[in-house]
Structure 1
Amino acid sequence: MQIIEQINFVKTSINVEIGKIDAKLTKITLEINDLKKNNKHSSELHKSKIAKLELISNTCDRIKSKYKVQDDEMEDLFTTNINDQLKILKNDVLTVVDNTNQFAIHLARSDSERQKLKDRIISHVEKIHKSHNTNPHLPRNSTPLTEEKLSVKESLNPFLRENAISAKDIPKLEEWPTFSSEGEYNHIEFIRAIDMLQDDSHITD
Structure 2
Amino acid sequence: NLETSTGHNAALFQEQLEKSDKARIQFKEDIQSSINHISLKNEFPRQSTPILDRNVLNLNNELHHTISSNAEVETAGKFEYNPRLEEWPTFSGEGEYNHIEFIKTIDTFKEELNIPDEYISARLHSLFIKSAKKWYSKMRQDHGKDSFPLWKEQIISKWQNDSWRFKMGNYFEEAIFNIERDRPMYWFLKQKDRSTSLHADMSEAMIHKRILRKCGGDLEHAIRSRGIEP
Q: TM-score range by the shorter chain?
A: under 0.3
Bigger helix share: 1
TM-score (norm 1): 0.25
Question: Could you state the TM-score of these two structures normalised by the residue count of structure 2?
Answer: 0.23
Give the structure with higher Rg (CA): 1
Q: Structure with the greater relative contact order (CA < 8 A, sep ≥ 6): 1 or 2?
A: 2
